Amino acid sequence: MTHSDAKLWAQEQFGQAQLKDPRRTQRLISLATSIANQPGVSVAKLPFSPADMEGAYRFIRNENIDAKDIAEAGFQSTVSRANEHEELLALEDTTTLCFPHRSIKDELGHTNQGDRIRALHVHSTLLFAPQSQTIVGLIEQQRWSRDITKRGQKHQHATRPYEEKESYKWEQASHRVVERLGDKMLDVISVCDREADLFEYLTYKRQHQQRFVVRSMQSRCLEEHAQKLYDYAQALPSVETKELTIPQKEGEKREM
């Protein structure tokens, strides 16, 4: 990405951010431009002048700036682009972000892999326009850390209210996407992995007439047939077969 492209992108994404001071918005655009020019590079390693570096860290440390306001500006930018497309896929997934720095260990949650590994969890919803093969942008994102004191309490999961479970993130994401897209949600198909194969989530999507594709995690009973889902699907005639090539790391055998 060229500097001019990065600046245009940053202006489009965050130009409308409501940070209570236009100078903060301009600093955000400048910082986003630099990060977009060198994705994956930490702020400390960006080619800033001493004054710009200090300005960047003042922005990051400013307690009067709410990260939610920055995110919402990006989401609204996605909304404006979404209206340009007839069909949209809402691609959802959860990512675990592990940070090795000991200084922030107490601020992170557990990952069910022992006390040594701490992380943040991020559930993202990315809009994709299949007809034009265009990534429209991020429309929703949730971030949380698991309570380290509750690790190993899986036996209490069944008695916990659905809205308090981590799995509620799928329905919560749909709520927020609807709030932003409004009637445009009629053109959206949610695409989720097998973690979303939840009775509550599927019921919510059907009751609100929202389209979805969820990878199945269990062979459920069907109202229309005596067979369960997997047996019924296995007996259906194949409509189409498509071969995909999955690139592998160097030295590994390619899969088909």
Q: From CA 210, how far away is CA 187, in angstroms rounded?
A: 9
Do residues 16 and 104 share a domain?
A: no
pTM exceeding the 0.75 threshold for the entire prediction: yes
Between the CA of residue 16 and those of 147, 181, 225, what are the distances in Å?
35, 17, 52
pLDDT, one tens digit per residue, over 141-189 is 999 888 876 766 666 666 789 998 999 999 999 999 999 999 999 999 9
Whether 74 is covered by a domain: the verdict is: no
Q: Is the pLDDT of residue 38 over 70?
A: yes
Whether 206 is covered by a domain: the verdict is: yes
**Which two tokens mark 227?**
């067979």
* Average pLDDT value for residue range 77-99: 94
Q: From CA 170, how far away is CA 190, in angstroms rounded?
A: 10
Do residues 111 and 228 share a domain?
A: yes
* Average pLDDT value for residue range 209-217: 96
Do residues 126 and 172 share a domain?
A: yes
Looking at the DSSP assignment, which residues form a beta bridge with residue 133? none
Q: Is the pLDDT of residue 2 over 70?
A: no
pLDDT, one tens digit per residue, over 109-145 is 777 766 677 888 999 999 999 999 999 999 999 998 8
pLDDT of residue 256: 52
pLDDT of residue 135: 96
Do residues 116 and 208 share a domain?
A: yes
Do residues 22 and 122 share a domain?
A: no
Q: From CA 148, how far away is CA 208, in angstroms rounded?
A: 35
pLDDT, one tens digit per residue, over 226-236 is 899 999 999 99
Whether 78 is covered by a domain: the verdict is: no
CATH of the domain at 136: 3.90.350.10
pLDDT of residue 84: 96
pLDDT of residue 98: 84
Three-state secondary-structure class, residue 5: helix
Last residue of some domain: 13, 30, 65? 65
Which of 236 and 99 is assigned the larger pLDDT? 236
Q: For strand 188-192 and strand 88-98, is the pairing parallel, antiparallel, or unpaired?
A: parallel
Per-residue pLDDT band at 216 (split at 50, 70, 90)? very high
Per-residue pLDDT band at 108 (split at 50, 70, 90)? confident
Q: From CA 190, how far away is CA 180, in angstroms rounded?
A: 15
The answer to whether the beta carbons of residues 181 and 82 sit under 8 Å apart is yes
Do residues 164 and 242 share a domain?
A: yes
Do residues 104 and 166 share a domain?
A: yes
The answer to whether the beta carbons of residues 171 and 192 sit under 8 Å apart is no
Contacts of 173 (CB under 8 A, 6+ apart): 92, 123, 125, 140, 142
Count of domains in the chain?
2
Short-list 84, 65, 63, CA closest to 26: 65
Contacts of 46 (CB under 8 A, 6+ apart): 34, 35, 38, 53, 56
Per-residue pLDDT band at 9 (split at 50, 70, 90)? very high
Q: Residue 23: which domain range? A: 1-65
